[in-house]
């Protein structure tokens, strides 16, 4: 990640942390949290899953899954991560 992406990622995580997502989660923050962080090494994915969980607890997380096919890729990614990691804390 470059410096600008890191800045956007930090802002997005702060919004999730402080529960101030009042519709202002920017697409760049959402993409970094849901797409870019999914590519982290498997041994470092547990905090990523926790950030996803915290975001899903907020009502604005529905923006990720609105529309015909928007949320399918996210659900597929998470299921693949959970299924493909036997013997790790991520295993289902």
- pLDDT tens for the chain, 92 residues: list them: 899 999 999 998 888 888 765 657 888 998 899 889 988 888 888 889 899 888 888 777 787 777 766 778 888 888 888 777 777 777 65
- Alpha-carbon torsion angle 22, 23, 27, 32, nearest 10: 30
- Is the pTM higher than 0.95? no
Phi-psi category of 86—alpha, beta or left, where left has phi over 0 and alpha has psi -120 to 50? beta
CA distances from 16 to 50, 79, 92 (A): 11, 22, 25
The distance in angstroms from the start CA to the end CA of the chain is 29
Say what the pLDDT of residue 10 is. 92
Residue bearing tokens 């529309």: 67
The DSSP output letter for 32 is I
pLDDT of residue 8: 94
């Amino acid at each position: 990640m470059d410096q600008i992406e890191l800045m956007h990622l930090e802002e997005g995580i702060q919004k999730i942390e402080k529960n101030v997502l009042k519709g202002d989660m920017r697409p760049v923050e959402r993409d970094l949290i849901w797409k870019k962080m999914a590519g982290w090494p498997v041994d470092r994915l547990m905090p990523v899953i926790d950030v996803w969980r915290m975001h899903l607890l907020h009502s604005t997380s529905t923006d990720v899954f609105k529309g015909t096919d928007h949320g399918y890729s996210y659900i597929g990614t998470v299921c693949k991560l959970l299924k493909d990691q036997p013997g790790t804390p991520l295993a289902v």
